[in-house]
Amino acid sequence: MERITKADDRVHRPAGPWTPTVHRLLAHLHEQGFVAAPEPIELDNTLETVSFVPGVAGEYPWTEDVASEAALVTSARMLRHYHDAAATFPLDEDADVWSQTPSTPVETVVHGDFAPYNCVYDGIAAVGIIDFDTAHPGPRVWDVASAVYRFAPFTTGAVEGANAPTLDARLSRAAEFCRAYGLDQASRSVLAPTMLASITALLTMLETEAAAGNPKFVSDLEHGHADLYRADAAYIEQHADDITRAVV
C-alpha cells in the first residue's frame, strides 16, 4: 500500500507521536488566517488526515515553472508569512511533542524541511506548504538556510550535468531568497554555517532512522543520499565566504 494516499480533497499520511502537536499547529495557522497549510481533519494512532492543498508539488526534476525566479520569490514570501503566523503558536513544553529537538533561539515553529518538494505551486506561484512532520521550535534562519540549500540550490546531485546552475546563479538566487523573505542582518551573517549545520542534522537523522529500520531512510541511504549530503557540505564549505558575501 502507498504510504501517503489521496481521496477526494483529503490526504492520509502515517502519524507519529508528534502528529497531535502538529495538528494543533496547523489549526493555529488557520486561526491566524494562514491558509496555505493543510487543515487538520482526523487523527488516530497510525494515520492522520489533512486537507489536500490544490496545486502541484515541486518534485524533482523541477519544471520550468518551479525553477523560475517567481517561484523562488513567492516561496520565500510564503515562508515569511508561515513563520509570522507560527510565531504566536502557544508553546507548551510539557505537552508538545516534536520529531526534532527544539533549537535556540526559539523565534517561531520552523517547518524543518522547507523545499520546493514540500511547496505546492499554481504555475509559477507558491500557494501551499505541506509535510509538517519535521516542524519544531527554533530560529527563523534555520528554515531560511535549509531553504536556500534546496532552492539556490546548493544541492550538487539534484541538478548536475549541462543543466547545473553556475555558482553565480546559485549565489544570486540565495540573495534573492533572503531579500524576498526579509531576513535580518544578524541571520544573514550566519546563513552559510547554519546551512552546514542543517546538512549535518539531515545526515544524523538519515543515519539514525536508517539504523532503526525506518524504510524511507533505509531506501534513501541505499540510494547514496549520505554521500550526496557530504558532497554538498564540502561544496558549501568551499564557497562559504562567497555565500556570506552574496547575502550579507
Ligand X SMILES: Nc1ncnc2c1ncn2[C@@H]1O[C@H](COP(=O)(O)OP(=O)(O)O)[C@@H](O)[C@H]1O
118 binds ligand X (CB under 6 A): yes
- Which of 34, 40, 108, 131 is in the footprint of Mg ion by CB under 5 A? 131
111 contact, one of ligand X, Mg ion, none, CB 5-8 Å limit per kind = none
Residue 233 makes contact with ligand X by CB under 6 A: no
Q: Which three cell numbers stand for residue 99?
A: 520529531
Q: Smallest gap, in angstroms, from Cβ of residue 75 to ligand X?
A: 14
Residue 50: which of Mg ion, ligand X, none does it interact with, CB under 5 to 8 A by kind? ligand X
Cβ 131 to ligand X shortest distance, Å:
3
Q: Pick the binder of ligand X from 38, 40, 137, 139 (CB under 6 A).
A: 38
Quick check: 232 binds Mg ion (CB under 5 A)? Answer: no
SS (H, E, C) the chain: CCCCEEECCEEEEECCCCHHHHHHHHHHHHHCCCCCCCCEEEECCCEEEEECCCCEECCCCCCHHHHCHHHHHHHHHHHHHHHHHHCCCCCCCCCCCCCCCCCCCCCEEECCCCCHHHEEEECCEEEEECCCCCCEEECHHHHHHHHHHHHCCCCCCCCCHHHCCCHHHHHHHHHHHHHHHCCCHHHHHCHHHHHHHHHHHHHHHHHHHHHCCCHHHHHHHHCCHHHHHHHHHHHHHHCHHHHHHHHC
Q: Give 131 or 232: the residue with its C-beta nearer to ligand X.
A: 131
- Residue 15 is a binding residue for ligand X (CB under 6 A): no
Lookup: cell for 97: 511533542
Min separation Cβ 123 and Mg ion, Å: 20
Q: Which listed range, 32-40, 87-95, 127-135, 138-146, lies at the site for Mg ion (CB under 5 A)?
A: 127-135
11 touching ligand X, by CB under 6 A = yes
Binding partner at 235 among Mg ion, ligand X, none, C-beta below 5 to 8 Å by kind = none
Among 48, 96, 131, 176, binds ligand X (CB under 6 A): 131
Dihedral, 96, 102, 108, 112 alpha carbons, nearest 10:
-100
Q: Using CB positions, name the residue nearest to Mg ion.
A: 131
Q: Which does 53 bind (CB under 5 to 8 A by kind): ligand X, Mg ion, none?
A: ligand X
Asked if residue 62 binds ligand X (CB under 6 A), the reply is no
Q: Using the structure block, give the residue that is written with the C-alpha cell 505537552.
A: 95
From the list Mg ion, ligand X, none, pick the one residue 188 interacts with, judged by a Cβ distance below 5 to 8 Å according to partner type: none
Q: How many residues does the chain have?
A: 248
Q: Does 220 bind Mg ion (CB under 5 A)?
A: no
